[in-house]
Structure 1
Amino acid sequence: MAAAFGTETGLTGSARAVARTAMFTAARRYIDANPGQPDLTVDCVLAMSQLSRPTLYRLFEPEGGLHAYIRNQCMEMTTW
């Protein structure tokens, strides 16, 4: 999935945006499904997503950052 951002794949424009959305959605679903796991860390999400750290961080910028998103999901789980 990480190769979807590379220019060597030939993806441009909307196809590239779809790939970016799919990667973001997969990472977000993983975090949302595992908020109580003690090993839910940025490195864990990086390994699952197979994206580079800068790419993953860039995808989560609108959410306040990757670490903030993980923290918020963990806090939401404890308030239930």
Structure 2
Amino acid sequence: MTGSARAVARTAMSTAARRYIDANLGQPDLTVDSVLAMSPLSRPTLYRLFEPEGGLHAYIRNQFMEMTTW
């Protein structure tokens, strides 16, 4: 796989994970494990995808806080 193909695949997987998280905010069963279950990603890869947002837990927390302030 070329570098650009990897970047496209990474973006697609990141987008899918974000959509899953956003669709399941507020669900008590929204966990790292539930995100992993819907994704072909490994735990380390999933964590790396969310590093720019401060990590996966930070992304979920921030999205939840944003949802509850509306």
**Which bin holds the TM-score, normalised by the shorter protein?**
over 0.9
2-structure distance, mates of 1:43, 1:75: 21
1-structure distance, mates of 2:54, 2:26: 20
2-structure distance, mates of 1:13, 1:58: 17
TM-score by length of 2: 0.92
2-structure distance, mates of 1:68, 1:75: 10
The gaps in structure 1 that reach 5 residues or longer are 1-10
Q: How does 1:1-80 map to 2 (within 5 A)?
A: 11-80=1-70
| Displacement of 1:32 | 1.0
Q: Write out the 4+ residue segments of structure 1 that deviate beyond 6 Å after TM superposition.
A: none
1-structure distance, mates of 2:58, 2:40: 20
TM-score by length of 1: 0.81
- Of 17-26 and 43-52, deviating more is 43-52
1-structure distance, mates of 2:28, 2:67: 13
2-structure distance, mates of 1:76, 1:35: 10
Q: CA RMSD in A?
A: 0.9
2-structure distance, mates of 1:50, 1:39: 19
| Displacement of 1:37 | 0.8
Structure exhibiting the larger radius of gyration computed from Cα positions: 1
Number of equivalences: 70
2-structure distance, mates of 1:77, 1:15: 33
